[in-house]
Amino acid sequence: EWKNFLERIEFKPRDDKDLKSNTDEICHWASYRGQTLTRTVRGMMYYRRALEIQCIQDKADLEKTYEIS
């Protein structure tokens, strides 16, 4: 991904000074990349919790159904 990023901005760093000159672009790239990962993981965690809650509710509904019968 790093190589693709450098290719996309048409940047070929020769040393650390070159990297420091493009710090803003590099920071934005890293931030966007991290945010996407964070949102993905957070979404998976919410989805898991939603499935757990749904399972609990389904189990409670089944128990009520068998109590009435």
- HEC secondary structure over the chain: CHHHHHHHCCCCCCCHHHHHHCHHHHHHHHHHHHHHHHHHHHHHHHHHHHHHHHHHHHHHHHHHHHHHC
Residue 39 has pLDDT above 70, yes or no: yes
- What's the predicted TM-score (pTM) here? 0.43
pLDDT at position 24: 77
Domain boundaries, position 12: 1-68
Spatial contact of 19 and 26, defined as CB atoms under 8 Å apart: yes
Domain count, the chain: 1
Whether residue 61 is predicted with pLDDT greater than 80 in this model: the reply is: yes
User: Residues 14-25: what's their mean pLDDT?
Assistant: 72
Q: What number is the average pLDDT over the span 40-62?
A: 91
CA distance 49 to 54: 9
